[in-house]
C-alpha cells in the first residue's frame, strides 16, 4: 500500500469490513479509504467517505471507481454459508455476479490490486480434514462453498488471461469483538463470548466436538494487508491461499472461557449448520502462505479468549452506563 493509494472497500460494514476500514484509515488517512455498502444506517465507518452501493449494479461501481480514482479494491460483499443455504439463488447472484462486476471494473479501469476473500468452505466432505493441504480434493457441498470455489477459479483466470493483480486467502472462521458476524457457520465462536459475560450460559448450534479452523480478527486483518503488500512476483497462488490460525471445538472454547468465568455453562443443540461444519476441515496447512509471504499468526486460543473477554466486558459495561 502506497500513501497515494485510494482504496475502495465494498461490503465495508460487515464483520471484516468494519475492522479493515478502521485499520486502513488509520494507516492512510480517513479520506483515502472509501467505505461502500448497501446502507450506513448503523453509523459504522462514517468517519470518512461513504458510498451506498449494490455490488450487483456495475454502472454504479464504475461511477464510484472513477469519482475517487480508486487504485485498490477490497471486495467483501457476500452472503455467508448459513444465510446462503436459506437463500441459495440470491446468494449465488450476490457472490458471483458481484465478483464479476468487481473483476470487470478492475480490468477495464486498470485498478492496481484487488482483494477478494475465499473460505475454508471450498473444501468438502471427502477433503482430508486434518492439516488440509493447499491443493487437495475440493468438493464443497454448500452453495456458499461452491460459489467460493468458482470465485477462486475466476480470480485465477482473470490473473492469467488479463494480468489482473488479484489476491485471496481462504479465511477460517473469524472472531472479533468490534463487529458482529454476518450469518456464517462459525458465528458461535463470537456469540459465545457475549453470552458468557451476559448470562454465564450459551446454547451452541454445533455439537461439542466440532473442531473447525478459526482466526482472531487482528491476525486476519494483518494477513490480508500483508498479502496485499507483498511484491507481485512472490504471490505465486492466484486462486486463494490456505490460511490458518487456531483450531478448536465448542468444548475447547468453553473450557477456555471457564478459566475466566468458572460458572459458565455450555449446552448443545445442533441445527442445520452442523452438517455444514462437518463438511469442512478441522485444521489447515498454510505452509505456502508462510513460504511465499511470511505469514505467521500471533494469537492462540488462550490469548484470543483473554482479549475477547476483556474487550466485550468493557463494551457491555459502557452500554450499561448509557441505559
**What residues make contact with ligand NAD under the rule CB under 6 A?**
10-11, 13-17, 37-38, 53-56, 76-78, 80, 94, 98, 117, 119, 171, 173-174, 181-184, 186
Please state, in angstroms and rounded to a whole number, the distance separating the CA atoms of residues 262 and 266. 12
Please state, in angstroms and rounded to a whole number, the distance separating the CA atoms of residues 287 and 296. 10
Please state, in angstroms and rounded to a whole number, the distance separating the CA atoms of residues 148 and 304. 27
Active-site hit among 144, 171, 202, 241: 144
C-alpha grid cell, residue 165 = 493483480
Angle, in degrees to the nearest 10, between helices 217-229 and 15-28? 60
CB–CB of 90/79 below 8 Å?
yes
Considering the complex, state which of residue 178 and residue 200 has its C-beta at the smaller distance from ligand NAD: 178
Q: How far is the CB of 230 from ligand NAD (least distance, A)?
A: 19
Q: How far is the CB of 117 from ligand SER (least distance, A)?
A: 8
Cα 138 to Cα 94, 126, 135, 198, 250, distances in angstroms: 22, 8, 8, 40, 25
Q: How far is the CB of 88 from ligand SER (least distance, A)?
A: 14
Residue 297, binding choice from ligand NAD, ligand SER, none, Cβ under 5 to 8 Å by partner class: none
* Interface mask toward ligand SER for 173-192; x: CB under 6 A: x----------xxx------
144 is catalytic: yes
Considering the complex, state which of residue 49 and residue 151 has its C-beta at the smaller distance from ligand SER: 151
* 300-310 per-residue burial string, b: 16 or more CB within 10 A, e: under 16: ebeebbebbbe
Q: What are φ and ψ of residue 144, in 5° steps?
A: -60, -50
Q: How far is the CB of 65 from ligand SER (least distance, A)?
A: 26
Query: Hey, which residues between 202 and 241 contact ligand SER (CB under 6 A)?
Result: none
C-alpha grid cell, residue 167 = 489476491
Considering the complex, state which of residue 264 and residue 297 has its C-beta at the smaller distance from ligand NAD: 297
Per CB under 6 A, 80 contacts ligand SER? yes
Candidate ranges 93-101, 115-123, 291-299, 312-320; the one touching ligand SER (CB under 6 A)? 115-123
CB–CB of 91/147 below 8 Å?
yes
Considering the complex, state which of residue 80 and residue 211 has its C-beta at the smaller distance from ligand SER: 80
Q: How far is the CB of 36 from ligand NAD (least distance, A)?
A: 7
The answer for residues whose C-beta is within 8 angstroms of residue 230's C-beta and 6 or more apart is 167, 292, 293
Q: Cell 475502495 appears where? A: 8
Residues labelled catalytic: 144
Q: Which residues bind ligand SER (CB under 6 A)?
A: 80-81, 119-121, 144, 173, 184-186
Amino acid at each position: 500500500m502506497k500513501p497515494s493509494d485510494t482504496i475502495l472497500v465494498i461490503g465495508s460494514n460487515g464483520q471484516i469490513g468494519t475492522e479493515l476500514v478502521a485499520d486502513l484509515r488509520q494507516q492512510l488517512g480517513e479520506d483515502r479509504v472509501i467505505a461502500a455498502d448497501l446502507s450506513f444506517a448503523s453509523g459504522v465507518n462514517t468517519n470518512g467517505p461513504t458510498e451506498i452501493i449494490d455490488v450487483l449494479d456495475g454502472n454504479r461501481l464504475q461511477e464510484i471507481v472513477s469519482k475517487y480514482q480508486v487504485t485498490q479494491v477490497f471486495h467483501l460483499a457476500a452472503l455467508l454459508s448459513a444465510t446462503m443455504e436459506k437463500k441459495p439463488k440470491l446468494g449465488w447472484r450476490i457472490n458471483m455476479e458481484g465478483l464479476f462486476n468487481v473483476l470487470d471494473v478492475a480490468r477495464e479501469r486498470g485498478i492496481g490490486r484487488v482483494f477478494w476473500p475465499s473460505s475454508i468452505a471450498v473444501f468438502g466432505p471427502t477433503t482430508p480434514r486434518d492439516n488440509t493441504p493447499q491443493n487437495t480434493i475440493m468438493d464443497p457441498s454448500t452453495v456458499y462453498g461452491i460459489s467460493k470455489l468458482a470465485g477462486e477459479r475466476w480470480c485465477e483466470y482473470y490473473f492469467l488471461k488479463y494480468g489482473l493483480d488479484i489476491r485471496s486467502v481462504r479465511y477460517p472462521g473469524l472472531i472479533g469483538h468490534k463487529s458482529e458476524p454476518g450469518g456464517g457457520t462459525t458465528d458461535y465462536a463470537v456469540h459465545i463470548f457475549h453470552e458468557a459475560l451476559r448470562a454465564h450460559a450459551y446454547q451452541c448450534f454445533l455439537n461439542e466436538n466440532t473442531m473447525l479452523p478459526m482466526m482472531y480478527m487482528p491476525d486476519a486483518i494483518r494477513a490480508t494487508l500483508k498479502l496485499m503488500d507483498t511484491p507481485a512476483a512472490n504471490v505465486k497462488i492466484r486462486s486463494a491461499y490456505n490460511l490458518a490460525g487456531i483450531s478448536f471445538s465448542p468444548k475447547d472454547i468453553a473450557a477456555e472461557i471457564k478459566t475466566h468465568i468458572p460458572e459458565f455453562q455450555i449446552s448443545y443443540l445442533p441445527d442445520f449448520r452442523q452438517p455444514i461444519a462437518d463438511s469442512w476441515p478441522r485444521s489447515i496447512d498454510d505452509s505456502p502462505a508462510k513460504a511465499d509471504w511470511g505469514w505467521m499468526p500471533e494469537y492462540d486460543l488462550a490469548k484470543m479468549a483473554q482479549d475477547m473477554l476483556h474487550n466485550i466486558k468493557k463494551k457491555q459495561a459502557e452500554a450499561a452506563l448509557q441505559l
